[in-house]
Amino acid sequence: MNIYKLQYTDKATGDADLLSKGTYEVVTEEGVTQDVYRNGTQAIVYIGKIVEIPATYDDEGHEITLPVYYDGVFYDLMTTEEFDFGINEIFPVDCVHSFAGYEKNAEGTDIDPELEEI
């Protein structure tokens, strides 16, 4: 199994790149549009922005100061196929997202459910 960590400038760019690589297809039937995974895609997870410096909140839970985010938006792709995502592929050391049964920081090709305290 392959897990790719991806970074794009924005969601439109990310969606377009994943679509162009054939990881999913947009299907519209009888007025209902849906994204359908293709070509070995097991899951596409849109993580969105990742916080670098957390926001501050008042005691009602509202933001007082906005968080500081890393540039762009982020995706995790799990697939049986190999892709070249070029500069959009990143290699974080402390991931904010993982797949159930896989190591928190699992990424790259030929990833198996791996050394993980459970």
Torsion angle, alpha carbons of 94, 98, 48, 92, to 10: 30
Q: Which is closer to other proteins, CB of 86 or CB of 115? A: 115
CB of 48 to other proteins, least distance (A): 5
Nearest-CA neighbor of 39 among 78, 70, 85? 78
Give the binding site for other proteins (CB under 8 A): 1, 11, 27, 29, 32, 34-38, 42-48, 51, 54-55, 57, 59-63, 67, 76, 78, 95-102, 104, 112-118
CB of 110 to other proteins, least distance (A): 10
CB of 82 to other proteins, least distance (A): 15
Nearer to other proteins, 62 or 86 (CB): 62
* Closer Cβ to other proteins, 30 or 86, answer by number: 30
* Shortest spacing between CB 33 and other proteins, in angstroms: 9
Task: Look at strands 2-8 and 73-79 and give their pairing.
Answer: antiparallel
**Neighbour count for residue 47 (Cβ, 10 Å):** 15
How far apart CA 113 and CA 81 sit, in angstroms, is 17
51-53 vs 68-69, strand pairing mode: antiparallel
